[in-house]
Amino acid sequence: MESNSRDGFSSKIGVIAAAAGSAIGLGNIWRFPYIIGDNGGGAFLIVYLLCVLTLGIPIMIGEFALGRISRVNAIATFRKLAPKSIFSIVGYIGLLSAFCILSFYGVVAGWCFSYILKSLSGAFNNLTPDKADLIFNNLVSGGFEPIFWQVAFMFLTGFIVLFGIKNGIEKYSKILMPLLFIIIIILDIRALTLANANDGLSFLFKFDFSKITLNTIFMALGQAFFSLSVGMGTMITYGSYISKKENLLTTSLNVAFADTLVAVLAGIAIFPAVFTFNIDPSSGAGLAFISLPMVFSKMFMGNIFACLFFILLLVAGLTSSISILEVIVAFLCEDFNISRKKVTILTTVVVSLSGVICSLSNGFMKINLFNQSYMDFLNYLSSNFLLPLGAILISVFLGYYFDKKLFVKELTNDGEIKLPFEKLLFFLFKFFIPFIISIIFLQNLNIIKL
């Protein structure tokens, strides 16, 4: 589909629902709880919130504005706004990130399919922590089953993108996002009435500053970018569909708020169960898939709630995976003039193959890269390297290269609305964001030692 036939979002609520649909996904409900569990709880949460405020939100505002100025896909945006400059690589880094993220995203979303069927078949009845662990490990290290579901999920994603998603995404998100909130709140209420709920809450909310290390900041930063869908061009692409009337600043704040709220609510659903059923909070990527079935098994009509929960997790994943695939598809069909249909099928197949390798690397076969499984490597590479790299370049681009007047004009809708914190925003772009991300990179490449 060409850029001039993009219809764009039809309403303010639609914009927020779709952008929040991209932001709220597996990152909030699956990734956030286990990353916070691995990184010491409350200390991580406060660093995470600071990263969202000072790095994530400014980059989101910047991405929306750039997309709405250029009105083209993320790669073409930089070609158009910064012709023949180094900044064109931002788009290509975004493409690589999209490929890496989608590869493992499909695997995790595929697990949801399996869990939906398991909950319906009563596999979670009278669950013990050991059995929950076993069910999860058997699934992820299996050969055929997780691959089947991963491929099914990728084709579902491709199917929607194939038939045009703009109206679809918006409509779909407006119904599904509120539903997701309702289910999470029901789960929270159940989790809060568990025996050791307090231990879980204090793990989540007790700010023990002594636990903050450079690695905490590093992980929080990557998680903030991943969760907010920034650093990769998703929000540039969505920005190109937003009408000139919308207020980009408040849109960004609303999306970031909804995204953070869902992450915290997911933490509240999971940690009381983790502490009540003696699951190790640092048990890694399986946390939500092991502890939540435990909660459901103790719940009245638990099978139904379990089923509903994994359907919603799947749907949350789907509204995000579509936004990731769209970044690749929009670029390939515009730049190479290939039909949307061909590009979508081709991309879906290639990403699915990489997803198969991810899935196998979880135990069925030993497929390692840099001492981690292929899947863990892609997960780490994208969030902790590619997204921050994209973000630092966007930040430097906005702080130093791009016409400041044009940018402010876009954010104020031609002077019609106020832009509070303008100075602060530019301070963040020019100094703070590049500084923080550079320090983290230098430390991780062992160039400096703090």
CA 268/CA 68 separation, integer angstroms: 36
Q: 96 or 186, CB closer to ligand TRP?
A: 96
Closest approach of ligand TRP to the CB of residue 97, in Å: 6
- The Cα 387–Cα 385 span in angstroms is 6
Q: In whole angstroms, how close is the CB of 30 to ligand TRP at the nearest point?
A: 8
Angle at the Cα of 322 from the Cα atoms of 113 and 11, rounded to 5 degrees = 120
| Least separation in angstroms between CB 14 and ligand TRP | 18
* Chain CA centroid to CA 324, Å: 9
Of 27 and 286, nearer to ligand TRP (C-beta) is 27
Q: Are 256 and 57 in contact (CB under 8 A)?
A: yes
Q: Which is nearer to ligand TRP, 147 or 262 (CB)?
A: 262
| 87/395 Cα distance (integer angstroms) | 11
Which residues have CB under 8 Å from 80's CB, separation 6+? 70, 72
CB of 234 to ligand TRP, least distance (A): 4
Shortest reach from residue 24's CB to ligand TRP, in Å: 6
Is the Cβ of residue 20 or residue 411 nearer to ligand TRP in the bound state? 20
How many Å separate Cα 268 from the centre of its chain?
Answer: 19
Question: Partners of 373 in the beta sheet?
Answer: 368
Which tokens hold the place of 296?
């459901």
Tokens of 85: 């400059």
Provide the residue count of the chain.
Answer: 450
Least Å distance between CB 280 and ligand TRP?
24
Angle at 292 between CA 191 and CA 298, to 5 degrees: 65
Q: What residue type is 130 in one-letter code?
A: D
- State the nearest-atom distance from the C-beta of 187 to ligand TRP, in Å: 18
Residues of this chain that interact with ligand TRP (CB under 6 A) are: 22-23, 25-28, 101, 226-227, 229, 232, 234, 320, 323-324, 387
Residue 372 three-state SS: strand
When the beta carbons of 136 and 226 are compared against ligand TRP, the nearer one is 226
Comparison of 132 and 392: residue with beta carbon closer to ligand TRP: 392
Choose between 179 and 408: whose C-beta lies nearer to ligand TRP: 179
